[in-house]
Amino acid sequence: MEDQLTPERIAKHYSACLDSVWVINDAVANPDKYAGDDSVIQRNVQHLEGMRNADFWTAEDMTPIDAAIAAGIAATTVG
């Protein structure tokens, strides 16, 4: 990173990741709700994969992020 991120900025990035986790989980559980947006899961998985590889994380729990990535990949490769 160009500069060290503040704890507040890291928290905002983590919150954005959790928003993507929620969208993926909701889209997997309620596919009809997202019928008009075929790429919603893929976009959010890509966001999480990119953020997961960021080098600024400290002690954040990546378990829900990893689980959402796996669930999203599984949901988009079925069929």
pLDDT at 4: 84
Amino acid type, 23: V
Structure tokens at 39: 């790429």
Q: Tell me which DSSP letter residue 55 carries.
A: S
Show contacts of 54-58: CB within 8 Å, 24+ apart: 54/1, 54/13, 55/1, 56/1, 56/4, 56/5, 56/10, 56/13, 57/10, 57/14, 58/7, 58/10
What percent of the chain stands above pLDDT 70? Answer: 94
The structure's pTM equals 0.91
pLDDT, residue 79, reads 57
Residue 1's pLDDT is: 44
pLDDT one-digit tens code per residue, 26-78 = 999 999 999 989 899 999 999 999 999 999 999 999 999 999 999 999 999 86
